[in-house]
Amino acid sequence: MKRFAAFVTGAAMIATQPVFAQMGAPGERTPTMPAVAGPLAAKYKADADRIVQAAMADDEGYADLAYLTDHIGKRVSGSPQLNTAVEWGAELMKKAGLQNVQIQPVMVPHWVRGNESATITFKGEAGEITKPLHMLGLGMSVGTPKEGITAPVVFVHDFAELDALADSAVKGKIVVFNPGWHGYGVGSMYRTGGPSRAAAKGAAAVLVRSATGLAMQIPHTGTLRYDEKQPKVPSAAISVEDALLIERLAKEGPVTVHLQMDAHMEADVKAGNVIGEIVGSEHPEQVVVLGGHIDSWDVGQGAQDDGSGIMATFEAVSLLHKLGLKPKRTIRIVFWVNEENGGAGGRAYREWIGDKIGNQVAAIEMDGGAEKPLGIGYGGFGGPRRPAPPAPGAAVAPAAGRGAGFDVSSLSADEKQSFVYLQDIVSLLGSIGTDSVSPGGGGSDIGPITADGVPALSPHTVGDHYFDWHHTEADTLDKVDPDSFKKNTAMLSVVAYVLADMDGKLAGRKSTFRE
C-alpha cells in the first residue's frame, strides 16, 4: 500500500446526531457512527443473513489467499510473479462463474532491487563499533556506484533540523532521518520526500527510519518520489533500532556508513488489471466496483498488503454468485495493478471508464489489511492519510486520524442521506460486529475515479498491526487471521450487494487527486 490523497475539506456528521466512539489505530482519533436500522434493513435482512452465514462458513477465500501467497508469492511490478498472479486471477474469476472476465493491459514500471547492504562504523572515546545495518532500499531508488558510498552521517529528526543546516554541513554526506513514530502519514512523508530534500542540500545518500511503531529490527520498504529538479540519490529504510543507535552514537562523535545498492530501473513491462462482473439485472450500465491491488513489494508474500484485499473482495463477489443473488446494478471486481510504485492500474481504469464515469455508483477499495473489521468508511472526509511534504522551513504536524476534520456543518443533504443509508446497511452486520460507519474511506487505486465524484468506501479495521508488517519480509500468510478475513468478506459482500440493488445512491464529491 502507498497512501494517497483524493480529498475534500470538511464534511460532517448526519443530522440525527449519532454517538461517536473513538476507534482506529493507536494514537488516532476515528469518529464512528453506530448502526440505525431502517427500510433497507427490513428489505434486505433475509439476503444479508444468508450472505453472512455463507461467508463465515466459507474457507475458499482464505485457501485462495494461501495459494497466492505461498505458491506465487511476492509480486512486484515488472516481475514474472506479478504476471503469473494476473493470469491466475483471471482464471479464478472465470472458475467462479463471473461474467466479462478480462485482463485490461497496463504497462508498469520495472524497478529491480539487486544486492544491497549498509554498514555503520563509529570511533569514539568509548571504543569502536562496526556492524551491519538492517536495511531495505526504498522502491524506485537509484543505486550506488558499484563500490558503494562511504560517507559521514548527518543525523536529523525532521525536515526543520535539515533546513537549519548549512548546505556545506550536508554536502557529500549521508543524511539519516529519524522523525519518531507519529503515525504512518508522517513516517511515509520522510520516506517519499526525504531523499530529494536532502539531495537539494548536496547529500550523497539518505537513510530513513522505517515508517512503523514496531521495533523488531525489521526494515520497511516503500516507494519514494524524486523531485526531478534535484539529483537522485540512493535511499534506503533502516530499522527503528538502527535509527536509534545512529542517533545515540551521533551524540558521541562522528558516525560513518558504507552503503551499497544495485537498485536500478529497467524497461516497462506489460501487465494488467484483472476484471470480472456480476451483470446487473435492471441497470447493467451502473456499476459498484470493489477490489484491491494485485501487486506487492518484493519482500514477504504480500499477504496483508494486499493479498487479503483482493481475495476478500473477490470472495465477497463470488459468494453473491454462489447464492444466486443478482442485484439491479452491476457489481465489478477489479484486481488493480502497480499500486505500490506507480499507480498505473488505477489511472488505466479511469481512462477505460472514460465519459461513463457517471455510471460508477460506488467504489470500494480494501487496502488496509484484513484485521478485525469494525465497519465501513465512507468518503474522503478529513485530511489525507499521507500529507504532502511541507515546504522548506515549515513544521511537520503529527498526522491526524482517519476522519479528522469531520465538520458537522458542511454536509450536503445528499451526504447526510448517504450516511443514513450506510447506517441502515451496517445494521445488517451486527452479528459479526461490523455495524458502524466512519468518515473517511477510499484508496489510491480508486483515487482517480473518486476524484471525479464517485463515492468512496473502504473497510475500517482495528488497525492494530498492519503497519507492523506491510512492506516487510514479515508480510506473510500467518499474519492474516481467518476469522477476521471472513468477517471482512461478509461485510464487503453485504455492503456491495445492497448498494448495487437499492433504489437510492450514495453521494460523492469531486476532489483533488494526489498519489
Give pLDDT tens digits for 434-485: 999 999 899 999 999 999 999 999 999 999 999 999 999 999 999 999 999 9
Q: How far apart (Å, rounded) are the C-alpha atoms in residues 93 and 314?
A: 8
Give pLDDT tens digits for 185-200: 999 999 999 999 999 9
Confidence of residue 4 (pLDDT cuts 50, 70, 90): very low
Closest CA to 35 of 423, 419, 431, 421: 423
> What share of the chain has pLDDT > 90, as a percent?
85
Catalytic residue, candidates 116, 339, 340, 515: 339
Question: Which parts of 200-307 fold into alpha helices (H)?
Answer: 240-252
> What ranges do the domains of the chain cover?
5-111+267-387+401-514, 114-262
Q: How far apart (Å, rounded) are the C-alpha atoms in residues 422 and 435?
A: 10
Is 339 known to be catalytic?
yes
Maximum alpha-carbon separation in the chain: 79
Give pLDDT tens digits for 357-411: 999 999 999 999 999 999 999 997 644 444 555 555 555 555 555 555 567 567 8
Task: Give me 174's grid cell.
Answer: 549521508
Question: Which parts of 134-183 fold into alpha helices (H)?
Answer: 159-164, 167-170
DSSP-assigned letters across all residues of 396-464: -PPPPPTTTT--TT---HHHHHHHHHHHHHHGGGGGGT--EEEE----TTTHHHHTBT--EEEEEE--S
Q: What pLDDT is stored for residue 375 in this prediction? A: 98
For 120-157, give one letter per residue: b (16+ CB within 10 A) or e: bbbeeeeeeeeeebbbbbbbbbbbbeeebbebebbbbb
Task: Read off the pLDDT of each residue in 227-239 and give the average, rounded to a whole number.
Answer: 97
Asked if residue 490 lies in contact with residue 433, where contact means CB atoms within 8 angstroms, the answer is no
Number of Cα atoms under 13 Å in the Cβ half of residue 392: 10
Q: What pLDDT is stored for residue 31 in this prediction? A: 81
Give pLDDT tens digits for 10-63: 333 333 333 333 333 333 456 889 999 999 999 999 999 999 999 999 999 999
Task: Calculate the dihedral angle through the C-alpha atoms of 480, 481, 486, 491, rounding to the nearest 10 degrees.
Answer: -80
Q: What is the mean pLDDT of the chain?
A: 91
Residues 6+ apart with CB under 8 A from 511: 6, 7, 8, 380, 450, 451
Give pLDDT tens digits for 477-493: 999 999 999 999 999 99
Q: How far apart (Å, rounded) are the C-alpha atoms in residues 115 and 176?
A: 21
Phi/psi at 460 (5° precision): -110, 115
Architecture of domain 5-111+267-387+401-514: 3-Layer(aba) Sandwich (3.40)
Closest CA to 473 of 302, 337, 271, 338: 302
Q: What pLDDT is stored for residue 411 in this prediction? A: 84
Query: What CATH number is given for 114-262 in this structure?
Result: 3.50.30.30
Q: What pLDDT is stored for residue 274 in this prediction? A: 99
Asked if residue 139 lies in contact with residue 341, where contact means CB atoms within 8 angstroms, the answer is yes
